[in-house]
Amino acid sequence: MAKRLFPRSIRARLTTVATLAAAVVFTITAAITLATAPANLRGAVQTRLELAVRRVAGELESGEFHTVLQTPSRVQLLQVVSARGNVIATSPGVSEIPTLMRFRADQPEKIYTTELTLSRHLTEPEAHYLVMALKVNSPIGVTTVYGAASLTDVDKALNWVEVLMFLGIPLILLSVAGIAWAVVGAALRPVERVRAEMAEITGQDLSRRVPVPDTGDEITDLATTTNHTLDRLERTVETQRRFVADASHELRSPISALRAQLEVASAYPDETDWRATGEQALAAADRLTGIIDELLMLARLDAGAVSERRVVDLVRVAEDQIRRRTGGRVPILPDLCASAPVYGSPMQLDRLLTNLLDNATRHAATRIDLEVSVEGDKVIVTVTDDGDGIPPQDRERVFERFTRLAPARAKDKGGSGLGLALCRDIATAHDGTLSLADHSPGARFVAVFPAPEHA
């Protein structure tokens, strides 16, 4: 098993990333500082010292000679030494320093620079100095101007920089890690509450919801979406439970009727009309077959199963339906256009039209109107009967599974309440709609499908 470069915990990962990012930034900053700080600090001292040395050299060349040299701020020593090595001018209060004589300027008008350890007085301890020498030709002969500026403050500053870099950066990184750990932990605390609540939710109790923080950030959106998902899940589970209960009830009725018929026939074989009993048993079996077929198709639609699809002409489907229903209880009056292509499953579209016409046949008084038309990029199928109609408040209920209104139960005790629900699911699976339109007398079902782009 490969080792993970980062920990599994989001909190630990974010803390690690923040600490590594801070380490990279501070390391680069430290490297740049350590590379440039010495040159910058020494450059400032060198600039002041060079100005002082060149000022004295300029005075010598112009003949303005003074045995006591005034030193500017932060320049500790100025001396003028003759070609024989005699100190002919120096800063006030400074003892002769022979060690400067070993540092000589060979070429005139050229600044020579070095660093020496020396003392301004015999009683002072030695210190680190930046020393410059400049040879000039003056009215009193060839002379060398020496200057020295202390590097003690520079060395102290560099020492502090190194201490801050090598001790301060680890402390800063520890602080960054601690702050990141605390901040991420606070940010993820609502997620932990959501997780804990989700862990308590079971299929037996889907009414619980996760807490929604009022921070207004992505975690709020996550909690809100989770609650919406739980709402849909609860409705789906409730629908499935009701579906299973209703299916069990609907299947129990024909099975019980069939069992009772067979038990009576078996108990009184000599008195049984076996022909009538067989016909009743076949009718019960047909009803069971119809219910099971519709349940299987609904289950496939719920599972998102995609059946074989192609371009289907609904006009041809409607003509087949009319042909099969010739001589029925009520006539079907067609109003069909020349062609109405729809991309879909031939079996499912035929089942939709079958269920709509079966429903209309049960409720129609004298006629059924079947219209198929094309309007723009829509194919419209309309089935209208002249029966009692459906009250407005029940026009959505009739599309629920196992829903049968009282008039429907009175007229036909063999229905299952699945036909219209299956029709709507088929229409939805084909990116279409199925609804009830206003019509009197009777009911008008309108199915709308998108026409294929290349029919």
pLDDT in tens, 185-216: 888 888 888 888 888 877 667 778 888 888 77
d(CA 351, CA 328): 18
Same domain assignment for residues 253 and 378: no
> Would you state the pLDDT for residue 1?
43
Same domain assignment for residues 417 and 443: yes
Q: Which residue range(s) make up the domain with 334?
A: 308-450
Task: Give the residue among 81, 77, 19, 86 at the shortest CA–CA distance from 49.
Answer: 77
Q: Is residue 434 part of a domain?
A: yes
Same domain assignment for residues 400 and 314: yes
CATH code of 352's domain: 3.30.565.10
> Would you state the pLDDT for residue 301?
66
Same domain assignment for residues 9 and 145: yes
> Would you state the pLDDT for residue 448?
95
Cβ contacts of 429 within 8 Å, gap of 6 or more = 301, 348
3 state SS for 53-84:
HHHHHHHHHHCCCCCECCCCCCCCEEEEEECC
Q: Is residue 209 part of a domain?
A: no
Cβ contacts of 8 within 8 Å, gap of 6 or more = none
Per DSSP, the three-state class of 143 is: strand
d(CA 282, CA 310): 35
Same domain assignment for residues 191 and 46: yes
Q: Is residue 210 part of a domain?
A: no
> Would you state the pLDDT for residue 271?
76
pTM (2 d.p.): 0.48
Q: Is residue 75 part of a domain?
A: yes
- For 106, list phi and psi in degrees, rounded to 5: -85, -45
CATH code of 188's domain: 3.30.450.20
| Residue-level pLDDT, tens digit, the chain, 455 residues | 445 555 677 888 888 889 999 999 988 988 898 888 888 888 889 999 999 999 988 888 888 777 888 888 888 888 888 888 788 888 886 655 555 666 778 888 889 988 888 776 655 677 888 899 999 988 888 888 998 888 888 889 888 888 888 888 899 999 999 999 999 888 888 888 888 888 887 766 777 888 888 877 788 888 888 888 888 887 777 767 766 666 665 666 667 777 777 887 788 887 777 787 777 778 777 767 766 776 776 666 666 656 778 899 999 999 999 998 888 889 999 999 999 999 988 888 988 998 899 888 888 889 999 999 999 899 999 999 998 888 888 888 888 876 666 555 555 555 567 778 888 988 998 899 999 988 888 899 999 999 887 54
Beta bridge partners of 147: 78, 132
Same domain assignment for residues 98 and 190: yes
Burial letters for 375-394: b for 16+ Cβ neighbours within 10 Å, e otherwise?
Answer: eeeebbbbbbbbbbbbeeee
The order of strands in the sheet holding 433-437 is 332-336, 368-375, 378-385, 444-450, 433-437
Count other C-beta atoms under 10 Å from residue 124's C-beta: 10
Same domain assignment for residues 260 and 168: no
> Would you state the pLDDT for residue 455?
46
> Would you state the pLDDT for residue 118?
77
Element (H, E) at 253: helix 218-267
Same domain assignment for residues 257 and 123: no
The residue among 248, 270, 299 that closes a domain is 299
Take residue 154 and report the two structure tokens written for it: 């520079």
pLDDT in tens, 330-345: 999 999 999 999 998 8
Same domain assignment for residues 345 and 261: no
d(CA 80, CA 97): 12
What is the number of structural domains in the chain?
3
Same domain assignment for residues 271 and 320: no
Contact 356, 383 (CB under 8 A): yes
Same domain assignment for residues 47 and 159: yes
